Amino acid sequence: MDVDKLAFTRSTNTGQIVLGLAAKSNLKPVTLELGGKSPFIVCEDANVDEAVDLAHDALFFNQCQCCSAGSRTFVHELVYNEFVEKAKARALKRLVGDPFRKGVEQGPQKPDTKDLALMDIISNQPFSQMFRDINEVIRRANATHFRLAAGVFTQNLDTANTLTRALKAGTMWINCFDVFDAAIPHGGYKMNGHGRENGISENTRSIRKIFENIRNIQKISENLYSNIRNYPKYPFPNMKKIIKIKN
């Protein structure tokens, strides 16, 4: 009863219990950041090499233990084979072992698995899925109850705008992933939880945020971003604009 607010990050099942207990006590507000299955969408005109590197980091960051991990990768059929071949090669180079040893990228894992087979991760998990058109990938990307984040990789401004408006996620990244700012609210929808962290959280419960890395979008009108140089610089490379829109 003496606690004014709770913030919880973990599994969805436990989050439901926490929310129920808070309601039974003093109806304290609860911020929940729970499970996530974030889509990572690679369009036909994307920079494949850059997308492969970011997809690798989006999935394997922090030993694959990240709430916003890009664990559902959708790749357009025109670049699918190239993407999968390069993603597999990148994954096989990932060094697993003692995290205190120089060069090791992957540390703690299941006990007694000295030789972690990253091939199993690639072969047996839905790491990459092929799509043919934008309507298909929107439908499949939204086919989840977890709505924390999403990444889109394209050089076409129309495609980027269409996907950022159609995808149901609390955070949208365009040609980048896992980019954060302490002043911008972060959080998801539905079974991912509710509430926002960072920013003025109490007043931004339904705010989505979209990060655009416009370096790789070629079809941007000069007039549309004529005042781009007036935007404040953020502590991330190539970040020029942050857009906040209400869902």
Count Cα atoms within 13 angstroms, Cβ side, for 205.
10
| Measured distance CA(192)–CA(31) in Å, rounded | 11
CB 171 within 8 A of CB 68: yes
Residue ranges of alpha helices (H) inside 112-155 are: 118-124, 134-141
At residue 174, the 3 state secondary structure works out as strand
User: Which of the following is catalytic: 33, 82, 136, 222?
Assistant: 33
Residue 152 CA: distances (Å) to CA of 160, 162, 174:
7, 10, 5
**33 part of the active site:** yes
15 Rama sector, left if φ>0, alpha if ψ -120 to 50, beta otherwise: alpha
Would you please indicate which residues are annotated as catalytic (active-site) residues?
33
